[in-house]
A = this chain, B = another copy of it.
Amino acid sequence: MKPIDFWFSIGSTYSYLTVMRLPEYAAQQGVVFNWRPFDVRAIMTEQNNIPFAHKPAKSSHMWRDIERRAGKYGLPIKVPVPYPLEELVFANQVALLGMREGWGQAYTVEAYRMWFTEGKKAGTEANVLECLKRIGQDSVRVIKLAHSPEIASALVDETTHCRELGIFGAPSFVVDGEVFWGNDRLEDAVSWRKNGCVR
């Protein structure tokens, strides 16, 4: 079975639910997910897609909804968390480097855990340092490399690719050109891969 592209951006709130449950869910379903970080803020800004800023009723529901759903999935959570992330781009540059080197999932899961259970914003130099230490990576080496023009440009390229696919938010799953947006569509994406339709 071909993998499903899992497009995510550390900085998206609902992605907490997906990132934390995906490793186990993927194994249960026997489906491989290709974790691909991108810069969701660049895309949303250019599309004038600003879902929460200056929308108190919608924001308030978002935190409560994520909290209720974390309960459903058995995930620890302490909301609201500090939001938005100033260092979204750097947080995802580290993730992209990690995906190349094989520790990207561990980093992403730990970055979300720190953000959603300890209130530590992903992407700040101090928090990236701590996150990398927790997963056993050499922080100094990684941080230097993640700042390199090559990694910065690779994240821009992935974001361009997202735009061409019709992605407008995170998380998104892409199966044979079908875009499924949101944590709520993880099951639909798997159904599409297995059955060619949503069941």
Q: Using a CB–CB distance below 8 Å, which chain A residues touch chain B?
A: 47-49, 51, 54-55, 57-58, 60-61, 64-65, 68-69, 71-72, 166-169, 178-181, 184-185, 188, 192, 197-199
Contacts and interface: CB of A to CB of B under 8 A. Distances in A.
A197 B61 contact: no
B184 A184 contact: yes
Contacts of A166: 57, 60-61
A126 B128 CA distance: 61
A192 B178 CA distance: 32
A163 to B, nearest CB: 8
Nearest to A60: B166
Nearest to A51: B51
Number of copies: 2
A58 B184 contact: no
A48 B57 contact: no
A194 to B, nearest CB: 14
Nearest to A68: B198
A65 B168 contact: no
Contact of A198 (B60, B71, B197): B71
A43 B68 CA distance: 24
Given A198-B68, A198-B72, A57 B188 contact: no
Contacts of A71: 197-198
B181 A61 contact: yes
Nearest to A162: B57
A69 B180 CA distance: 11
Given A48-B55, A61-B181, A184-B184, 11 more contacts: A47-B55, A47-B57, A47-B58, A48-B54, A49-B55, A57-B166, A65-B180, A68-B178, A68-B188, A72-B188, A72-B199
